Each structure stands twice: as C-alpha cells, then as structure tokens.
Amino acid sequence: MLEQDAPPLPDELEPEEESPYLRRQKAVPVRRKRVSRRLRGVFFALGVLLPVAGAGYWLATFALTSPSFVLSAPEDIVVSGNRFVSREEVLGVLGLSLTGNLRAGANVFCISLDSKRRLVETLPWVRTAAVTRLLPHGLLVSITERTPVAFASLSGRVSLVDSDGMLLEKPENAAFDFPVLSGLENLAGVEERRARLALFQEFMQQLGVEAPRAGWMISEVDVSDPEDLKALLILGQQTVNVHFGRKDFLDRFRSFLALLPELEKSNPRLDSLDLRYRNQIVVNPQPAASAPGERKD
C-alpha cells in the first residue's frame, strides 16, 4: 500500500499560511451613568424656565409701573370713523383722567378695552366700536356710526331713525332729505319695529329714484298696517295718498302713472288711490270745497 502523507501539525504551519478569517473579539460593555428624569427637570427649570420667568416678571413690572405707558392727555386718544359723534362725547364717556398729570393718568395695560368699548357703544349715534392700545401710551377708538333712513314721527316729535329703529337726534349743521315715517308708535318690540322699517326701506329702494324722476316727491310714509304701506305723494300743488300694499311697489307705481291722466279726467280732485287690487284702482275723490256761506252738514 502507498503511504499517505500525514496532515501538517499546527506548529508546522508557516505564518503566511494562517487563515484570513479572524474571530471577532467580544465587545467590552461600558456602563453609562443615567441622569434621572427628576434631576433633568430641575436642570431645565434652573437653566431655562427660571430665567424666562424672571425676564417675564421684570417686563410685566416695568410695563405696569413705567410712566412711559401712562395715558394722561386727551391727545393720547385717537378717535376714527366718527362724523356725527363728537370727540368730546367719546372722551367724556370713557371716564379717564386726562389732565396731563402722569401720576393721575391710567396705565394702558390696566385699562379694560372691552369695558371701554361698551361705554362708547352707549352713545346713541354709535352702532359698533372697537378700542385698541397704541403703544407706548395711547388708545385708538374706532367707531361705526348709525345710518338714518327716515324722519320718524313719534308722539308728536320728529326724530331721525335708523334701520334698527334707534331714534337719533339731528346733529347740528347736518342736512337730511327723508320722508316722514309714521306708524312706529305702538309696536310690541324691537323686531317688529325692524320689520316695519325693512318694509319702508324696500319701498324706498324701489321708488327712491323712479318717483323723483317722474316728478313726484314722497313726502310721508305710513307703516302702521304691515299689509298696507301708504305713501303721500306730491306733485306741485297736487297731493295723493296712495295705498301700495306690501309688495310690487314699483309695478304699482308705474300703473299709477299710466292710469292717472284718465283718472283725473273723471275725478279732477283725487284724495287717495288704492293700488292693491289687480287690474283696477280704487279712487277716493276729494270732497268738493264748500262755497262761501254754504252750510256743511
């Protein structure tokens, strides 16, 4: 038998014949020290929150005590949006000490803007208001005034009235060209008054241009009956009280214009016309003037 060569012993291996695959060395664990959550919270409070709180406290103290933020003179209040509301009325209702004395003045950060807004809105001509701070020491009062839509006759007194039914005194040096509105005296509440005023505004929107263009002036409007708006129309020396109902005002006025010449032929002296009925006009002629010495029954 042939003798086989014996495998070389490990000691007989040459250095260059060592295996290229090296065994990975076992990692040595390193123990890290953990900081507790409570301790981290303390560090965060000391490093961040405490300085921020200190700065906030300093700023708040400075804002509330510094004379730089004291409202003391009338010039510190700016009023905008007012036409009929005077600046003096606004300053008076705000109730602030505006004598120029810093010690007696009010700090702008101590003023309740909402309460001052409500005070300004108690003025009759003010519909809405807004009050904002003007730093360092000022207030801006922005006003939206009410818009009158008619002269309202109530209890023998004539006042301006807006679409909400708010009665307004006529300002000095102001001119308005409105019809006199009646029929608001005995209404149950604000909503009912607004509904009658909405009816009046719809009537004026439809006839406000058409009637003057035709030569007629709308002198008075009666909304006491919600189903029948009545208007007193004037053309020169002629006056006619017209029943318009509650809708189709423009169409009925045009019918009035078209049929008026024929109506005047048979009724020279017209007192009132009722336009509420389709395809017909109900005429109420004026009574004839009594002759001198004629007895009236």
Domains for the chain: give ranges and CATH numbers: 68-145 (3.10.20.310), 148-285 (3.40.50.11690)
**What does the pLDDT read at residue 296?**
39
Nearest to 147 by CA among 176, 187, 173, 184: 176
CA distances from 102 to 58, 61, 141, 177 (A): 21, 17, 21, 47
* pLDDT for position 274: 92
Give yes or no for a contact between 90 and 141, defined as CB atoms under 8 angstroms apart: yes
- The whole-number pLDDT of residue 55 equals 61
d(CA 214, CA 7): 132
pLDDT averaged per 10 residues, the chain (length 297): 53 54 58 63 62 61 69 93 95 89 84 96 96 94 96 90 93 92 88 94 96 96 96 94 95 92 83 83 62 41
Please tell me the pTM assigned to this model. 0.71
Given CA atoms 200, 204, 205, 206 in this order, what sign does their dihedral have? positive
C-alpha 79/C-alpha 85 separation (Å) is 10
Angle at 215 between CA 212 and CA 220, to 5 degrees: 60
The per-residue pLDDT for 86 is: 94
CB 139 within 8 A of CB 106: no
What integer pLDDT is reported at residue 83 of this predicted model? 94
